A and B are shown apart, each in its own frame.
Chain A
Amino acid sequence: MFPELNSILNSTPDSFKSSDFILVSDRRADASFLIHHYLSFYLRAGCKVCFLGLVQSFSHYSAVGQRLGVSLAQAREKGQLVFLEGLKESFGVLLQDTSQETQPLSYLRSPGAGLEGLFRFVESCVRQSGDGNAGESWGPPVLLIDDLSVLLSLGVSVGAILDFTLYCQATVCSELQGNMVILVRCEEEDADDDEEGSNLLQRGLVHQCNLALHVEGLPTGYCRDIHGQMEVWWRQRGETIYNQRKIFHFKVHDKGASFFARGTSSAVL
Chain B
Amino acid sequence: MAAPVRGMIGSTSIGNTTSFQKKTRSKLVSIPGTRPSVQNGQLLVSSGVSSLDYVIGGGLAVGTLLLVEEDHYDSYSRMLLKYFLAEGVVCGHELFLASARDHPDDIMQELPSPIVDDVAGMKISEGQSQPSDPENPDTMKIAWRYQNQPKVQTALASSVRFGHYYDVSKTMEPELRQAAKCHSFYQLQETPVVTASSPLPSPYHSLLKSIQTVIRKEGFDGSTPQSKVRNVLRLGLHSLGSVLWGDDVCCKDNPAHCHALTTFLYILRGLLRTSLSVAMVTVPSHLTQNRAVMGRIIRLSDTAIALESFKGSEKETNPLYKDYHGLLHVRQLPRLNCLSCEVPDTKDLAFKLKRKQFTIEVSSHQPLSALSPQHTPNSHPIALRVHSYGTSPNPNEQRGVKTPPRLLTSAVSALKTHSTVDTADQRVGCNENDTD
Binding site for B on A (CB under 8 A): 28, 30, 32-33, 36, 57-60, 63-64, 67, 86-91, 94-95, 99, 108-111, 150, 152-155, 185, 187-188, 191-193, 196-198, 218, 220-227, 252-257, 265, 267-268
- Is B390 in contact with chain A by the CB < 8 A criterion? no
Q: Which residues of A contact B344 (CB under 8 A)?
A: 224
Contact between B295 and A91 (Cβ–Cβ < 8 Å)?
Answer: no
Is the pair B270, A268 in contact by a Cβ cutoff of 8 Å? Answer: no
**At the interface with chain A, which of B163-171, B261-269, B427-435?**
B261-269
Tell me if B337 and A91 are in contact (CB < 8 A).
Answer: no
**Separation of A218 and B381 alpha carbons in the complex (Å):** 13
Would you call B378 and A188 a contact (CB within 8 A)? no
Are A254 and B377 closer than 8 Å at their CB atoms? no
A108/B292 contact (C-beta < 8 A), A60-B337, A257-B339 known: no
Question: How many pairs of A and B residues are in contact by the CB < 8 Å rule?
Answer: 135
Q: Chain B interface mostly helix, strand, loop or mixed?
A: loop
3 closest Cβ pairs, A-B complex: A59-B1, A63-B337, A87-B270
Judged by a CB distance under 8 angstroms, whether B93 is at the interface is: no
B342 CB → nearest A CB, Å: 11
* B→A interface (CB under 8 Å): 1, 4, 40, 197-200, 208-209, 212, 258-259, 262-263, 266-267, 269-271, 273-274, 290-292, 295-296, 299-300, 335-340, 343-347, 373-375, 377-381, 413
* A111-B199, A187-B292 known; A220 vs B378 contact (CB < 8 Å): yes
Cβ distance A5 to chain B, nearest Cβ, rounded Å: 13
Check B347 against A109 for contact (C-beta < 8 Å): no
Determine the distance from Cα of A30 to Cα of B299 in the docked complex, in whole angstroms: 10
Majority DSSP secondary structure for residues of A touching B: loop
* Cβ A267 vs Cβ B377 within 8 A: yes
Find chain A residues with CB under 8 A from B270 CB. Answer: 86-91
B4 touches A154 (CB 8 A): no
Can you spell out 22 A-B residue pairs with CB atoms less than 8 angstroms apart? A28-B295, A30-B335, A32-B335, A33-B335, A60-B337, A64-B339, A87-B274, A94-B267, A110-B197, A111-B199, A153-B300, A154-B199, A155-B259, A192-B292, A218-B378, A221-B378, A223-B378, A223-B381, A224-B381, A225-B377, A226-B377, A267-B375
Once the chains are docked, how many angstroms separate the CA of A58 from the CA of B270? 12
Q: A88-B273, A110-B199 are in contact. Are A64 and B374 (CB under 8 A)?
A: no
- A59 CB contacts on chain B under 8 angstroms: 1, 4, 337
Cross-chain contact A224 with B337 (CB below 8 angstroms): no
B40 to chain A, nearest CB (A): 8
Q: Taking the nearest CB of chain B, how far is it from the CB of A173, in angstroms?
A: 28
| Contact assessment for A109 and B335 in the assembled complex, using a CB-CB cutoff below 8 Å | no
Closest to A186 in B: B295
Of the candidates B199, B300, B373, which one forms a contact with A109 in the assembled complex, judged by CB atoms under 8 Å apart? B199
- Chain B residue nearest to A98 (CB atoms) is B197
Given A88-B270, A94-B198, A99-B197: A252 touches B263 (CB 8 Å cut-off): no
Instruction: List 9 additional A-B contacts (Cβ < 8 Å) besides A33-B335, A58-B1, A222-B347.
Output: A59-B337, A91-B267, A110-B197, A153-B299, A154-B262, A220-B379, A225-B377, A252-B340, A268-B377
How far in angstroms is the closest Cβ of chain A from B39? 8
Residues of B close to A222: CB separation below 8 A: 346-347, 380-381
B residues near A90, Cβ cutoff 8 Å: 266-267, 270
How far does the Cβ of B364 sit from chain A's closest Cβ, in whole Å?
13
Known A-B contacts A150-B266, A223-B377, A225-B377; the reply to A254 vs B339 at CB < 8 A is yes
B263 engages A254 (CB within 8 Å): no
Q: Assess whether A87 is in contact with B273, with CB atoms less than 8 Å apart.
A: yes
Which residues of A are found within 8 Å of B212, using beta-carbon distances?
Answer: 91
Chain A's nearest CB lies how many Å from the CB of B54?
16
Chain A residues positioned under 8 Å from B296 (CB to CB): 152-153, 187
Measured CA separation A108–B260 after assembly (Å)? 11
B262–A254 contact, CB under 8 A?
Answer: no
Known contacts A155-B259, A191-B292, A223-B381, A254 near B199 by CB under 8 Å:
no
A59 to chain B minimum Cβ distance, whole angstroms, is 3
Residues in A neighbouring B380, C-beta threshold 8 A: 221-222
Say yes or no: B198 contacts A253, CB within 8 Å. no
C-alpha spacing A255/B273, complex, angstroms = 24
Are the C-beta atoms of A91 and B1 separated by less than 8 Å?
no
- Contact of A197 with B263 in the complex, beta carbons under 8 Å: no
Residues in B with CB closer than 8 Å to A198 are 292
The answer on a CB contact under 8 Å between B374 and A57 is: no
Q: Nearest B residue to A191 by beta-carbon distance?
A: B292
B338 touches A254 (CB 8 A): yes
A36–B335 Cα gap in the complex (Å)?
Answer: 12
Asked if A153 contacts B263 (CB within 8 A), the reply is: yes
B40 to chain A: which residues have CB within 8 Å? Answer: 63
Q: Is B4 within 8 A of A67, CB to CB?
A: no
Q: How far is the CA of A36 from the CA of B338 in the complex (A)?
A: 10
- B197 near A109 with CB under 8 A, answer yes
Which residues of A are found within 8 Å of B290, using beta-carbon distances? 192-193
Query: Which of chain A's residues have a CB closer than 8 A to the CB of B375?
Result: 267
**Nearest opposing residue in chain B for A99, CB measure:** B197
Rounded to whole Å, the gap between the CB of A25 and the closest CB of chain B is 13
